[in-house]
Amino acid sequence: MEQVMRNTFLYLSKSKSLTKMARKYGLRFGAGRFVAGERIDQAVKCIQELNQKDLCVTIDYLGEFIDTEKEANEMADNSIEAIRAIGTENLDSQLSLKMTSMGLDISEEVVMKNMRRILNAAKEYGVFVTIDMEDYSRCGKTIDVFKKLREEYDNVGTVIQAYLYRTVKDMEDLNQYSPNLRLVKGAYKESPEVAFPDKKDVDDNFKKIIEMHLLNGNYTAVATHDDAMIEYTKEFVKKHGISKDQFEFQMLYGIRPERQLELVKEGYKMRVYVPYGTDWYGYFMRRLAERPANVAFVLKGIIKK
């Protein structure tokens, strides 16, 4: 049953018609738990509240199904607006973004132009930028863009997904760039031809890439809500004498907030991924797919309304 629900929500997340409907009706039916708001001022307020609790943040202006250069340029403008807000408000926050929202599906020229604009602004305000990873069909292109940008900028990182077979090879290839990477299990529905179908295999590969990246001496963001993986990371860094300055934990806004605060109290850097914007539908569907408990929360919200 759980797998059926997951597949259903992942399928719905790719619906352009439902995405347009969601933009029209705004943050309803529980989405507000996982999305900080539709405007930058709402996101700033959310970040300030998290910073006051000693939580770091990475902010993401949500956007999917970008079909034109004009839309991609507007998305880049919104990312630059977020960077300026981080700088002027003195927020403890980084920026995350998707390559498709910057024009990856349009042309390399468009995405590189927009990314250089963003990274130049980020450099001016001292903001680090993480390139989110999307589905398998865009994985290789995203890594290629990251490599080119990493040769020009030192304030950019990307994301590696443990559920893909190609991941270990990608990690070995990227090590020459001394990259700052966010390591995740992966949240898209992929074919067993390209991704591990079994959870145990995904978990084993996740542990392997955490070990690889830490032992290579690179900064590592372990993005997970899984207590077993968190404890594994703690034990591994302790065993190998790895400083807490070389890694951090990351979780999504609205998921396990109590656990986030516990990690802060234990002395670990804890970064919260805070999305905002009107294009929240696809992100929201993937959050429902990840955890059945999220679905129950949303249903309770609808009943109350």
Instruction: Summarize pLDDT for 273-297 with one digit per residue, the tens.
Output: 999 987 766 666 666 666 555 444 4
pLDDT of residue 34: 81
Please indicate if the annotation marks 187 as binding a ligand. Answer: yes
The pLDDT, as a whole number, for residue 254 is 86
Q: Is pLDDT at 211 greater than 90 in this prediction? A: yes
User: How does the average pLDDT of the chain come out, rounded?
Assistant: 87
Task: Please check the confidence at residue 141 and state whether its pLDDT lies above 50.
Answer: yes
Return the pLDDT at 4. Answer: 53
**pLDDT value at position 244?**
97
291 is in an annotated binding site: no
Find residue 181's DSSP bridge partners.
158, 220
d(C-alpha 88, C-alpha 81), whole Å: 10
Catalytic annotation present for 132: yes
289 marked ligand binding residue: no
pLDDT-based confidence at residue 178 (cuts at 50, 70, 90): very high
Q: What is the pLDDT of residue 302?
A: 34
Annotation says 67 is catalytic: no
* pLDDT computed for residue 37 by the predictor: 87
260 has binding-site annotation = no
Cα dist from 186 to 44, 234, 296, whole Å = 27, 21, 22
pLDDT score of 12: 46
pLDDT at 83: 98
The pLDDT tens digits for 161-171 are 999 999 999 99
Share of the chain above pLDDT 70, in %: 80
pLDDT at residue 85, as a whole number:
98
Q: Three-state DSSP class for 89? A: coil
Of the residues 6, 60, 132, 279, which is catalytic? 132
Does 52 belong to an annotated binding site? no
- What is the reported pLDDT for 43? 96
At residue 157, the pLDDT reads 98
- The half-sphere exposure of 178 on its side-chain side, counting CA atoms within 13 A, is 6
* pLDDT tens per residue, range 183-196: 999 978 899 999 99
- Is 287 labelled a binding residue? yes
Q: Global pTM? A: 0.87
- 71 has a pLDDT exceeding 70: yes
Go through the domains of the chain in sequence order and give each one's CATH number.
1-35+284-304 (no CATH), 36-276 (3.20.20.220)
Catalytic residue among 182, 203, 271, 279: 182
Please report the pLDDT score of residue 305 as a whole number: 37
To the question of whether residue 208 is assigned a binding role by annotation, the answer is no
Instruction: Give residue 227's pLDDT.
Output: 95
Q: Judge contact between 187 and 255, C-beta under 8 A.
A: no
Three-class SS of 26-69: CCCCCHHHCCCCCCHHHHHHHHHHHHCCCCEEEEEECCCCCCCH
The pLDDT tens digits for 26-42 are 445 555 678 888 899 99
Please choose, from the candidates 37, 100, 94, 92, the residue with its C-alpha nearest in 3D space to the C-alpha of residue 71: 100
Region 223-251 average pLDDT = 97
Per-residue model confidence (pLDDT) at position 282: 65
Q: Is 123 annotated as a binding residue?
A: no
User: Rounded to an integer, what distance in angstroms lies between the CA atom of residue 73 and that of residue 18?
Assistant: 23
